Amino acid sequence: MALKKFKPTTPGQRNKVISAFDDITATRPEKKLVKGKKRTGGRNNEGKMTVRYVGGGHKKRYRVIDFKRNKDGIPAKVKSIEYDPNRSARIALLYYADGEKRYIVAPVGLQVGQTLMSGEKASPDIGNAMFLRDIPLGSVVHNIELQPGQGGKMARSAGTYAQLTSREGKYAALKLPSGEIRLVLTSCKATIGSASNPDHMHEMSGKAGRRRWLGRRPRTRPVVMNPVDHPMGGGEGRASGGHPRSRKGLPAKGYKTRNRKKASNRLILERKKKK
Q: What is the pLDDT of residues 92-146, one digit of tens each?
A: 999 999 999 999 999 999 999 999 999 999 999 999 999 999 999 999 999 999 9
Largest CA distance in the chain: 71
Distance CA 81, CA 62 (A): 16
Question: What integer pLDDT is reported at residue 157 of this predicted model?
Answer: 97
Across 104-138, b (16+ Cβ under 10 Å) vs e yields bbbbbebeeebebbbbeebeeebbbbbbbeebeee
Residue 212 has pLDDT above 80, yes or no: yes
Instruction: Kindly report, residue by residue over 36-80, the tens digit of the pLDDT.
Output: 999 999 999 999 999 999 999 999 999 999 999 999 999 999 999
Which segments within 20-75 are labelled E, that is strand? 34-36, 61-63
Which segments within 33-161 are labelled E, that is strand? 34-36, 61-63, 76-82, 91-96, 101-105, 115-116, 129-131, 140-142, 144-145, 152-154
Which amino acid is residue 223, in one-letter code? V
Question: What integer pLDDT is reported at residue 226 of this predicted model?
Answer: 95
Residue 173 has pLDDT above 70, yes or no: yes
What count of other Cβ atoms lies within 10 Å of the Cβ of residue 181?
A: 19
Split at pLDDT 50, 70, 90, the class of 153 is: very high
- Write the CB contacts of 157 (distance below 8 Å, at least 6 apart in sequence): 87, 88, 89, 195, 200
Q: How far is CA 217 from CA 14, 180, 247, 269, in A?
A: 21, 33, 18, 39
Split at pLDDT 50, 70, 90, the class of 1 is: low
Split at pLDDT 50, 70, 90, the class of 275 is: low
Distance CA 161, CA 140 (A): 6
Question: What integer pLDDT is reported at residue 2 of this predicted model?
Answer: 86
Q: Can you tell me the mean pLDDT for 162-180? A: 95
Q: What is the DSSP string of 160-222?
A: --EEEEEEETTEEEEE-TTS-EEEEETTSEEEES-BS-GGGGG-B--SHHHHHHTTBPPPPPG
Strand partners for 82: 91
Domains of the chain in start order, with CATH, are 24-38+57-196 (2.30.30.30), 219-253 (4.10.950.10)
Question: What integer pLDDT is reported at residue 243 of this predicted model?
Answer: 93
- Write the CB contacts of 18 (distance below 8 Å, at least 6 apart in sequence): 3, 4, 203, 204, 206
Which amino acid is residue 212, in one-letter code? R
Which amino acid is residue 40, in one-letter code? T
Residue 223 has pLDDT above 80, yes or no: yes
Percent of the chain with pLDDT over 70: 99
Residue 247 has pLDDT above 70, yes or no: yes
